[in-house]
Amino acid sequence: MTDPARSATTARHHPMLWPVLATLLIIGWSSGFVGIRYASQEASVMLLLFWRTLISGIILLPFALAIGPRIQLDALKGQALFGIMSVFLYLGGFALAIEQKVPTGLVALIADLLPLAIAALSHPVLGERLSARQWQGTAIAVAGVLIVSLDSLSFGTAPAWAYGLTIASMIIFAGASVVYRRRKTPHMPVHQSLCIHMLTGSVLFGLCAWTQGSLVPPISSKFAIGMAWLVLIATYLAYAVYYTSLRLFPAAKVSAAIYLSPPVTMLWAWILFSEPLTLTMLTGLALTLIGVWMTSQD
Ordered by start, the domain boundaries in the chain are: 4-296
Query: What integer pLDDT is reported at residue 3 of this predicted model?
Result: 44
Contacts of range 243-247, beta carbons closer than 8 Å, 24 or more positions apart: 243/180, 243/190, 243/193, 243/194, 244/21, 244/190, 245/18, 245/21, 245/22, 245/25, 246/177, 246/180, 246/181, 247/1, 247/2, 247/7, 247/181
Phi, psi at residue 146, to the nearest 5°?
Answer: -60, -40
Q: C-alpha distances in angstroms, 41 versus 122, 207, 222, 283?
A: 38, 21, 8, 31
For residue 124, what are the contacts with CB-CB under 8 A and spacing of at least 6? none
Query: What integer pLDDT is reported at residue 139 of this predicted model?
Result: 80
Query: What integer pLDDT is reported at residue 186 of this predicted model?
Result: 55
Contact at 8 Å (CB) between 196 and 80?
yes
Contact at 8 Å (CB) between 117 and 171?
yes
Query: What integer pLDDT is reported at residue 128 of this predicted model?
Result: 65
Phi, psi at residue 22, to the nearest 5°?
Answer: -65, -40
Angle between helices 73-83 and 160-182 in degrees, nearest 10: 140
Query: What integer pLDDT is reported at residue 62 of this predicted model?
Result: 95
The CB density around residue 163, as the number of other CB atoms within 10 Å, is 19
Residues of the chain under the 50 pLDDT cut: 1-11, 13
Nearest CA-CA partner of 176 in 192, 161, 190, 197: 197
Query: What integer pLDDT is reported at residue 298 of this predicted model?
Result: 59
pTM for this predicted structure: 0.79
Q: Which amino acid is at 75?
A: A
Phi, psi at residue 250, to the nearest 5°?
Answer: -55, 145
Q: How far apart are CA 142 and CA 121, in angstroms?
A: 17
The CB density around residue 195, as the number of other CB atoms within 10 Å, is 25
Element (H, E) at 263: helix 261-273
Q: How far apart are CA 241 and CA 31, in angstroms?
A: 14
